[in-house]
Structure 1
Amino acid sequence: MTADSYSHHLATGNQFVAEAQKIATTDFAAARALWQQAGQAFYRAHQADRNQPEAALRLAQAWMAEAHALHKEGSPNATVMWQNAAAQNELAFDLDPRNARIAMAAASCHHFAGDAEAAQAWMQIGQHLASGGDQAPEPGDPTDD
């Protein structure tokens, strides 16, 4: 696929998310259907360019919305969806390993999936990155030896 199809699918997914967010409080079932469509669009974007962390992250976020919806309904499938979302966040993190937001999203997913140890590990990574850990010094910085 081309960069154009990547951009198109990413934009389409973002449109579905925006629509879902507008109606989520009034028509949760319709919002859930839109989140599923967004996930499909983000999946296509991710397939179009597997090196783009944004598509990988947006797919993880769509799966998190689906997991939340399943959890809200009391579905036993919620745990599986949280596990899938955690794995997708980890893939996004592999593409952008300095992104604290992705690490914290992985922590959240693992928490809701019931894996406290993985949640704690990802939370520590996110906190480390958010506090400035793993930052390269600026050129000319006295600590740049």
Structure 2
Amino acid sequence: MPQDSTSPHHHAQDYGAHLQAGNALVAQAQALATSDFQQARALWQAAGKQFYLAHKADMDAPEAAFRLAQAWMAEAHALQKEHSPNAAVMWANAAAQCELAFDLQPEDGRVAMTAASCHLFAGQHDAAKAWQQIGQHLLQPAAPQGGETGA
């Protein structure tokens, strides 16, 4: 393999290609979800692999990190539907991935709330509560300062 394959441009290309492929697989999975759950689940898993590769290509990009968490959430949800004991483990993995995405974009209340949901499904109630408080704090509208009055 030529040495320039690790150049930043190459990583950006890989990142974009994997992210795009993952998003396309998610769209297919969502279209099939009601008619063929097993096929949709396989597509979600394939999307997760693409998001993982995108995340590996650019560890600092919050979008791929969060998309990977969402893919794991879809898998956790599928396991939950099957009453699998592995569902809680998968929810915990998704929660950890949400936290990683949040570290890359610490002002994103939506990611914090998603982490809270994952922790809740994983049975980690203290962590869920803590993440919910962070999310609510970030999502609340900024309170007017001191002497300002409404128009």
Fold shared, TM-score > 0.5 on shorter chain: yes
- Is 1:115 matched up with 2:128? no
1:7 to 16, 28, 40: 16
Paired residue secondary structure (1:65)? helix
Equivalent residues in 2 for 1:74-113 (5 A)?
74-113=83-122
- Is 1:38 matched up with 2:33? no
- Is 1:63 matched up with 2:89? no
Amino acid at match of 1:89: C
Report how far residue 2 of structure 1 moved: 1.3
Structure 1 portions without partners, runs of 5+ = 134-141
Paired residue secondary structure (2:35)? coil
Paired residue secondary structure (1:98)? coil
Equivalent residues in 2 for 1:43-54 (5 A)?
43-54=52-63
What is the TM-score normalised by the length of structure 1?
Answer: 0.90
Q: How many residues align?
A: 134
Partner of 1:136: none
Report how far residue 106 of structure 1 moved: 0.2
Partner of 2:25: 16
Partner of 2:138: 129
- 1:74-110 deviation line (CA, Å, top 9, x unaligned): 1000010000000000000000000001000000000
| CA-atom RMSD in angstroms | 1.1
Amino acid at match of 1:39: G
Report how far residue 132 of structure 1 moved: 4.0
Between the two proteins, what is the percent identity of the paired residues? 65
List 4+ stretches of structure 1 deviating above 3 A: none
What is the TM-score normalised by the length of structure 2?
Answer: 0.87
Larger radius of gyration: 2
Report how far residue 39 of structure 1 moved: 0.3
- 1:101-134 deviation line (CA, Å, top 9, x unaligned): 100000000000001111111001000000146x
